Amino acid sequence: MELSVSFFAVRSHSCVPAVTAHSNLKFQRKPLTLRKRRAIRARASDPSQCQETGNGFVLEDVPHLTNFLPDLPSYPNPLQKSQAYAIVKQTFVSSEDVVAEKIVVQKDSPRGVHFRRAGPREKVYFKSEEVRACVVTCGGLCPGINTVIREIVCGLNGMYGVDDILGIEGGYRGFYSKNTFQLTPKFVNDIHKRGGTFLQTSRGGHDTHKIVDNIQDRGINQVYIIGGDGTQKGAALIYQEVEKRGLQVAVAGIPKTIDNDIAVIDKSFGFDTAVEEAQRAINAAHVEVESVENGVGVVKLMGRYSGFIAMYATLASRDVDCCLIPESPFYLEGQGGLFEFVEQRLKENGHVVIVLAEGAGQEYVAQSMYTVDEKDASGNRLLLDAGLWLSQQIKDHFTKIQKMAVNMKYIDPTYMIRAIPSNASDNIYCTLLAHSAVHGAMAGYTGFTVGPVNSRHAYIPISRVTETQNIVKLTDRMWARLLASTNQPSFLNSDEVMLGKVDRAIIEEINNRKITSI
């Protein structure tokens, strides 16, 4: 493996600064939070390397095939002869190119964490004619999956001359329970115009040994895995088993979630499309409630743990009166509650539109009905329909208590949004994701995931995108912009709510807000 890392000094896998013998500095360790302890344990067990220098520069590297196959030969990158890349000023990414996790820093602060920049390398570790790649999609649907599939196939073929590419049907279990089929640029030419996944998908079904046995039996040496949190954890297990067996197999993950709750990366693919499509539902609700007396519209959008779609759709619409998300507890009754706000808006405007993320208010719904804590095949807790519950609560309050007739309109466009093709912005983004994964696998990187960090695509250790979830930060300016736009109450002044936040934090810590299965 050729790595010019002259400005890096390898310290340890746990990223803890080492003190040199001649140092006069004394370090007092601050008590680590539970999250930080978990992060350190995860990275210490992960094969990726942490490289650190004295000025606080940290490179969180990803594994390479030569880590466990040191005698692996390398070859000139076929892109050297590509007519398309002939006019590019710098065809290949330097081994010293990195991407900073944070770009806003204090003048004298440490340089911080960096990731290896994605892109084509001057040398590759696979001969094009010897590559047998496969692509698999797992988990729920999301706009853009087909675009990623298409661009992996076209990228491998067009840039590297790879002809042998297999499609794995039906998620992880497709490796050992279903047939595969050949993917060619002609075969996938127009799949980006369709919603869903051309390869079909499923939840669960991950059996590491069966999957790697199948990879080995079929002679597959590049595996491209498209999926969310649990899927990426499964990709990490596949990589670890591949390394254990000493196989020349590159495992590349492409992170997928419509909720935009993947840590580290700027945003997940399909998110822009989801926000754009959500506008149609919000607009429909606004038209409906404007056309009747005392119209109340509730629009339920996706967001199991993170309210990004609801927040951005609300900001984009300007027709929304109140946005409720999982990160911000709310209450219904009393001063400053939702009922009071709805009544005020009805008196002022004659109508009100509420956007609700599907994970918001789950604790209240659970209290009002007998429920069993069920989970899907991926280990996700099945959510109750907070939209129907909230609609009924508002209707009951105003008709029975306030003696005020309201016209309720409830719209749930969840599956319509998930099933549509990606828009132009997401199509371009999916292309970059796919090509970055292809370049990384051909260059011998493995056990990695890809994504934009501060608008630059990077190779990221899988543990970094699965150790925690990206959530809306109520102390950030974006949420403040929403509150200013809707003029809704923040719901954070009630002692009852603050107590609820504590309870919620305890529950989240127990469940770790993570997928328990793969």
Confidence grade of residue 371 (pLDDT, cut at 50, 70, 90): low
**Calpha distance 356→322 (Å, rounded):** 8
Give tens-digit pLDDT for 341-367.
999 999 999 999 999 999 999 888 877
β 407-411/75-76 pair status? unpaired
Give tens-digit pLDDT for 460-481.
999 999 999 999 999 889 999 9
**Calpha distance 325→358 (Å, rounded):** 8
Same fold: 1-264+422-468 with 271-420+488-511: yes
Is 348 marked within a binding site?
no
Confidence grade of residue 141 (pLDDT, cut at 50, 70, 90): very high
Is 415 marked within a binding site?
yes
**Calpha distance 459→117 (Å, rounded):** 6
**Calpha distance 424→430 (Å, rounded):** 10
Range with the poorest average pLDDT among 117-121, 371-375, 406-410, 450-454: 371-375
The DSSP element (H or E) to which 503 belongs, if any, is helix 495-511
The domain defined by 271-420+488-511 folds into Rossmann fold (3.40.50)
Token pair of 366 as six digits: 């659970």
Give tens-digit pLDDT for 24-55.
333 333 444 544 444 444 444 454 467 766 67
Token pair of 451 as six digits: 């994504």
Share of residues in the chain with pLDDT > 90 (%): 70
Token pair of 330 as six digits: 């709310």
Q: Higher confidence at residue 377 or residue 385?
A: 385
Confidence grade of residue 375 (pLDDT, cut at 50, 70, 90): low
Nearest to 249 by CA among 51, 445, 454: 445
Give tens-digit pLDDT for 394-426.
999 999 888 899 999 999 999 999 999 999 999
Predicted confidence (pLDDT) at residue 323 exceeds the cutoff of 60: yes
- Residue-level pLDDT at 369: 61
For residue 302, the 8-state DSSP code is -
Q: Please, are residues 115 and 59 in contact by the beta-carbon 8 Å criterion?
A: yes
Q: Higher confidence at residue 34 or residue 139?
A: 139
Is 204 marked within a binding site?
yes
Residues in Cβ contact with 72 at an 8 Å cutoff, skipping those fewer than 6 apart: 65, 66, 125, 248, 444
Nearest to 126 by CA among 55, 222, 49, 217: 222
Share of residues in the chain with pLDDT > 70 (%): 82
Average pLDDT over residues 214-242: 96
Mean pLDDT, the chain, rounded, equals 86
Q: Please, are residues 225 and 234 in contact by the beta-carbon 8 Å criterion?
A: yes
Residues in Cβ contact with 224 at an 8 Å cutoff, skipping those fewer than 6 apart: 133, 134, 135, 136, 152, 252, 254, 437, 438, 441
Token pair of 507 as six digits: 């529950």
Radius of gyration of the chain (CA): 25
pTM, 2 dp = 0.85
**Calpha distance 78→74 (Å, rounded):** 12
- Residue-level pLDDT at 505: 52
The residues that bridge with 60 in the sheet, in sequence order, are 50
Confidence grade of residue 381 (pLDDT, cut at 50, 70, 90): low
Q: Please, are residues 392 and 164 in contact by the beta-carbon 8 Å criterion?
A: no
Is 228 marked within a binding site?
yes
- By the 10 Å C-beta count (0-12 exposed, 13-18 middle, 19+ buried), 174 is classed as buried
| Cβ atoms within 10 Å, residue 399 | 13
Nearest to 125 by CA among 445, 438, 459, 443: 443
Is 304 marked within a binding site?
yes
Predicted confidence (pLDDT) at residue 19 exceeds the cutoff of 50: no
CATH 3.40.50.450 fits 1-264+422-468, yes or no: yes
Confidence grade of residue 482 (pLDDT, cut at 50, 70, 90): very high
Predicted confidence (pLDDT) at residue 515 exceeds the cutoff of 50: no
Is 205 marked within a binding site?
no
Range with the poorest average pLDDT among 10-14, 219-223, 249-253, 398-402: 10-14
Average pLDDT over residues 102-129: 93
Is 451 marked within a binding site?
no
Is 295 marked within a binding site?
no
Domain boundaries, the chain: 1-264+422-468, 271-420+488-511
For residue 67, the 8-state DSSP code is G
Report angle CA 469, 474, 477 to the nearest 5 degrees. Answer: 110
Confidence grade of residue 517 (pLDDT, cut at 50, 70, 90): very low
Residues assigned a catalytic role: 259
Q: Is the dihedral of CA 266, 268, 270, 273 positive or negative?
A: negative
**Calpha distance 187→180 (Å, rounded):** 14
Q: Please, are residues 112 and 100 in contact by the beta-carbon 8 Å criterion?
A: yes
For residue 169, the 8-state DSSP code is P
Q: Please, are residues 48 and 60 in contact by the beta-carbon 8 Å criterion?
A: yes
